[in-house]
């Protein structure tokens, strides 16, 4: 199957391979890792057979672009060499989500987005501050007034938004963090298998300094496509 890396909305072919020393430094293995080491963080990795790696050790970046799922002698998941052509169509792909986090923020990985009309449209909202279903706010209160004394009517607009669960099969789940033991912020990074047609919503929270924080990715059998919701709707991408 093909392998892709998603880094905050940018998709690239393949995944970077790192060499790790194991058994007290007496042996080396090739891995794809997510997350990081340290308090409040977690590093997880997927072992890669050396024959699947492109690039010589010590001479520039080493990557793996396609592989088959196998297992180690202990039963752990391992990537094996694949003879698949680069233009072949596949029903599944392997995706490395190296999702970051905003300053003092986090992230999330969910499924497809669904918008439905708010059930309280045009309804009497009484003295509530906001609609509990869609979050629409009532009329602004006068200065110095902190409690509503008059009922208000919901507009004819308002959308209840929901998301499907993450659709893929997660192989490795790492954690990145900020501050001591992750007290300033933390988020997940994933290695997962996606099926053709799967849609994943990748979102970052916290201070992003004007950068778009939410993207949707979809595997179409040949390529992994990433787009914002606005671009999806404007171009009717998926």
Q: Are residues 108 and 136 in the same domain?
A: no
The residue that leads in pLDDT, 157 or 57, is 157
Residue 88 pLDDT > 80: no
Q: Are residues 143 and 174 in the same domain?
A: no
Opening angle at CA 169, ends 163 and 173, nearest 5: 90
Going by pLDDT thresholds of 50, 70 and 90, the confidence category of residue 85 is: low
Average pLDDT over residues 159-171: 96
9/107 Cα distance (integer angstroms):
13
Q: Are residues 207 and 180 in the same domain?
A: yes
Close Cβ partners of 12 (under 8 Å, ≥ 6 residues apart): 4, 5
Based on the structure, what is the number of domains in the chain?
2
Q: pLDDT value at position 41? A: 95
Q: Are residues 100 and 146 in the same domain?
A: no
The residue with tokens 């933390």 is: 186
Q: Are residues 97 and 118 in the same domain?
A: no
Range of the domain at 151: 114-163
Q: Are residues 200 and 225 in the same domain?
A: yes
Close Cβ partners of 28 (under 8 Å, ≥ 6 residues apart): 19, 20, 21, 22
Q: Are residues 12 and 86 in the same domain?
A: yes
Residue 73 pLDDT > 90: no
Q: What is the pTM of this model?
A: 0.89
Q: Are residues 119 and 217 in the same domain?
A: no
Residue 68 pLDDT > 80: yes
Q: Are residues 6 and 39 in the same domain?
A: yes
Residue (of 100, 111, 79) closest to 35 by Cα position: 100
Contact yes or no for 16/61 (Cβ under 8 A):
yes
Q: Are residues 16 and 58 in the same domain?
A: yes
Going by pLDDT thresholds of 50, 70 and 90, the confidence category of residue 23 is: confident
Q: Are residues 213 and 184 in the same domain?
A: yes
Q: Are residues 127 and 220 in the same domain?
A: no
């Amino acid at each position: 199957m093909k392998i892709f890396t998603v880094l905050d909305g940018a998709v690239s072919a393949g995944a970077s391979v790192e060499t790790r020393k194991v058994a007290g430094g007496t042996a080396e293995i090739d891995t794809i890792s997510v997350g990081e080491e340290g308090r409040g963080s977690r590093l997880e990795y997927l072992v890669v057979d050396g024959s699947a790696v492109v690039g010589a050790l010590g001479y520039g970046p080493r990557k793996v672009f396609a592989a088959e799922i196998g297992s180690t002698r202990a039963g752990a998941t391992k990537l094996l060499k694949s003879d698949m052509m680069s233009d072949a169509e596949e029903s599944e792909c392997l995706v490395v989500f190296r999702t970051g986090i905003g300053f003092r923020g986090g992230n999330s990985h969910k499924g497809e987005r669904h918008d439905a009309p708010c059930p309280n449209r045009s309804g009497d909202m009484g003295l509530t501050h906001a609609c509990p279903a869609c979050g629409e706010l009532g009329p602004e209160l006068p200065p110095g007034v902190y409690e509503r004394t008059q009922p208000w009517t919901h507009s004819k607009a308002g959308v209840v938004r929901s998301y499907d669960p993450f659709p893929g099969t997660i192989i490795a789940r790492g954690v990145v963090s900020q501050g001591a033991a992750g007290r300033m912020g933390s988020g997940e990074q994933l290695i997962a298998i996606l099926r053709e047609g799967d849609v994943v919503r990748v979102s970052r929270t916290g201070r992003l300094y004007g950068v778009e924080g939410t993207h949707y990715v979809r595997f179409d059998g040949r390529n992994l496509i990433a787009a914002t919701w606005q671009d999806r709707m404007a171009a009717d991408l998926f």
